[in-house]
Amino acid sequence: MAYNLLKGKKGLIFGALNEMSIAWKVAERAHEEGAEFVLTNTALAARMGSTEELARVTNSLFIPADATSVPDLENLVEKTMEHFGGKIDFILHAIGMSPNVRKKFPYDNLDYNNFLKTLDISALSFHKILQVAKKYDAINEWGSVVALSYIAAQRTLFEYNDMAEAKAALESIARSFGYIYGREKHIRINTVSQSPTLTTAGKGVKGIDALIDFTERMSPLGNATALECANYCITLFSDLTRKVTMQNLFNDGGFSSMGMSFRAMEMYNKSLDCNECHKDLNDEIKEK
């Protein structure tokens, strides 16, 4: 259902690779809600994925840019402003990649060049986008910027590797720049911390299927899908959330506040050699 929440708004969306991408769903929902936007991704991603097809469907312009390159970002912001004949109202940063994860370097044997690339692609790119946008005064007053994060910024999750540091930096950049942008331009900056989701980046996380099953069992509302993440981003781009800034907002069905759930306990006990556990649980199951 569409509510015209973004009618008249203009935006810039990073990170739509294919139809599984969270940014893809954000673009589709933003289009339905009346926004116009420019889509961007690396030239290589555009060749491998289907970003340009999404641009056709949503009647938007695709401009390639490597988000680690300041000259690329300057060109992107300039062309975007030229295209719209003025400023934009929202930006989505949905960019993440770790060469260490990709090349299977474990956390205690990291390649440091890869580590720097992880930080550059997944976190510093956010700073670069915000710095370039500020230099060009590209965002309207009361605009909104959202980057996608993950709970590994706060808690240790097996095999999330150096992406944990990248997400911690990403969330910190949202706060530090959120202060400056808020103070000077009434623009808000937040991160949305999303449930594990089966996307191209998500599939790169070792054991993603087990992780998704675990968080599903732990979360009272279940995992948030890519579409549910997109819906949340739309509210953050809309005028309904004007005073929300410098926050890391969990869109995770309640997972981040849980310690242990009945459904996870049930699974855990199945793997234990513990007759008492099974007995207790069986009794409880009978009661439910």
Ligand X SMILES: NC(=O)c1ccc[n+]([C@@H]2O[C@H](COP(=O)([O-])OP(=O)(O)OC[C@H]3O[C@@H](n4cnc5c(N)ncnc54)[C@H](O)[C@@H]3O)[C@@H](O)[C@H]2O)c1
Return the residues of window 196-225 that contact ligand X according to CB under 6 A.
Answer: 196-197, 199-202
The nearest distance, CB 141 to ligand X, in angstroms, is 27
Q: Give residue for tokens 């474990």.
A: 106
In angstroms, rounded to a whole number, what is the distance separating the alpha carbons of residues 41 and 37?
A: 13
Judged by beta carbon, residue 5 or residue 151, the one nearer ligand X is: 151
Closest to 109 in 3D by CA, of 117, 118, 100: 100
The nearest distance, CB 8 to ligand X, in angstroms, is 26
The answer to whether 195 and 251 have CB atoms below 8 angstroms apart is yes
What binding mask, one character per residue, do residues 14-53 give for ligand X by CB under 6 A, x or -? xx-x---xxx-----------------xx--x--------
Q: Which of 54, 63, 97, 236 binds ligand X (CB under 6 A)?
A: 97
The nearest distance, CB 188 to ligand X, in angstroms, is 19
Q: Which of 68, 114, 219, 245 binds ligand X (CB under 6 A)?
A: 68
Sheet holding 188-194, edge to edge: 61-62, 36-40, 10-14, 88-93, 139-149, 188-194, 248-251
Q: Which of 37, 105, 115, 150 binds ligand X (CB under 6 A)?
A: 150
Q: What share of the chain is helix, strand, coil (3-state, %, to 5)?
A: 50, 15, 35
Q: Give residue for tokens 């976190």.
A: 123
One-character DSSP codes across 205-233: STTHHHHHHHHHHH-TT-PPPHHHHHHHH
Task: Using the rule CB under 6 A, give the single segment among 66-74, 98-106, 153-161, 239-247 that binds ligand X.
Answer: 66-74
Judged by beta carbon, residue 71 or residue 86, the one nearer ligand X is: 71
Judged by beta carbon, residue 143 or residue 196, the one nearer ligand X is: 196
Judged by beta carbon, residue 14 or residue 84, the one nearer ligand X is: 14
Judged by beta carbon, residue 90 or residue 150, the one nearer ligand X is: 150
Closest to 202 in 3D by CA, of 222, 174, 225: 225
In angstroms, rounded to a whole number, what is the distance separating the alpha carbons of residues 229 and 127?
A: 22
118 binds ligand X (CB under 6 A): no
96 binds ligand X (CB under 6 A): yes
The answer to whether 127 and 172 have CB atoms below 8 angstroms apart is no
Question: What does the block give as tokens for 33?
Answer: 């809600």
The nearest distance, CB 137 to ligand X, in angstroms, is 23
Task: Using the rule CB under 6 A, give the single segment among 1-9, 90-98, 174-182, 255-263 that binds ligand X.
Answer: 90-98
Question: What does the block give as tokens for 63?
Answer: 């401009």
253 binds ligand X (CB under 6 A): no
Helix (H, G, I), strand (E, B) or coil at 158: coil
Q: Please report, as ranges, the residues that interact with ligand X according to CB under 6 A.
A: 14-15, 17, 21-23, 41-42, 45, 66-68, 94-97, 121, 148-150, 194, 196-197, 199-202
